[in-house]
Structure 1
């Protein structure tokens, strides 16, 4: 049961003035998040022009690891980043500064191959499930037990529908007898209700500018560290 900081995601530069887009900015921001209560980090490395890039993983992971020694660092492998299956696979195969884990979206056609490549490289896997269909696809694979954790990530903004989708994912996992650590997070309107739900279920959660820029009271946060601090307060003051 942890709070993971997701510090940038695919958000555009104008989403927030403190959105970290360079390796050094991510390293500094990550250190502040760890000091605020984050146990792990989820990062989308960016190239020099600010675009997401799997080729930027080495420099980014190295910078963040130096700033946050001992903290687990994860990256995204989202298909949209390279927008080409072969470029995605080649980038992962070429990593030299390996992240501790990587997130793989089960909605993506090449997810099984990406997961196998990550295993070959010694990188642990967060299996990203956004729908019940993703969960059913995940449990259909023989290697579904060989993941670090399951990432339940719902983009639906209407809370009742988002909760129903999350419960559907959990039900599909339960039917298949899957017993892996869970991390639940929302996006924008559902961030804080899902932090509360994760606390009640004793799952991990994730917060940061990738998922939303507001605090529980609706105010825009100063930075990622303030969001993490608020989530840590929710998690640990009520357990």
Structure 2
């Protein structure tokens, strides 16, 4: 089980005063998260206008590697980032400072080709499943058993509905006898309930401003490192 830090995601600039948006800020925040107990990092590099960009991967990944040597660094390949299939493919093809892994959303039409591009680069794949349909599609793909891990990410804000979705996706993965690490996380209202569920199932999890800014007690976190430290405390308490 690991705790991954998800530093920024697609959150707008004003989401939190310490949302890291430049390569330098992301690198500095990454180091603080690792010091707080994060085993891995998941980042969304931004361009000079603070917009998400797959063409800024090299600079940002290199900066993070300088502050966090030996820590696995992952990025997103979300279709919304470049908002164009060909631009997305071209950006990934052009990467030179390769991340250790990249998340691929199985809900996106071009997911199989994105996965093939990542394999060609030798980049690990974190297969993102947000629904039963995503899970069914994933297990139907050739080579699905060779991904780095499966990430179950549930958008439902109702706790019971979120847990039902987790159970349904897990059932499909069990049926396929998939023997890969699973990482479970929620968003906003379900960050902490699903983090506890991940620990109960002995799965990995993630936490950070990409997913939510609230601490377990409902107060606003001072930043990503505080969220990571709180997650580490939850895992330790539940051992």
Equivalent positions of 1:68-217 (< 5 A) are 68-217=68-217
Tell me how far 1:178 sits from its aligned partner: 1.1
Counterpart of 1:14? 14
SS in 1 for 2:146: coil
For structure 1, list consecutive stretches of 5 or more residues without a partner in the other structure. none
Segment of structure 1 superposing worse, 214-223 or 170-179? 170-179
Match of 2:221 in 1: 221
Task: Report the equivalent of 2:58.
Answer: 58
The residue number in structure 1 matching 2:33 is: 33
TM-score of the superposed pair, with normalisation by structure 1: 0.99
Task: Output the CA distance in 2 between the equivalents of 1:44 and 1:167.
Answer: 29
Which aligned segments of 4 or more residues in structure 1 are displaced greater than 6 angstroms?
none
Quote the Cα distance in structure 1 between the aligned partners of 2:235 and 2:99. Answer: 26
Aligned-residue offset at 1:177: 1.3
RMSD: 0.5
1:176 offset after TM fit, Å?
1.2
Could you tell me how far apart the structure 2 residues matched to 1:107 and 1:182 are?
18
**Could you tell me how far 1:180 is from its partner in structure 2?**
0.7
- The gaps in structure 2 that reach 5 residues or longer are none
| Alignment coverage as a number of residue pairs | 239
1:123-170 residue CA offsets vs partner (Å, 9 max, x unmatched): 000000000110000000121101000000001111111111111100
Per-residue deviation, 1:237: 2.6
Deviation at 1:63, TM superposition (A): 0.2
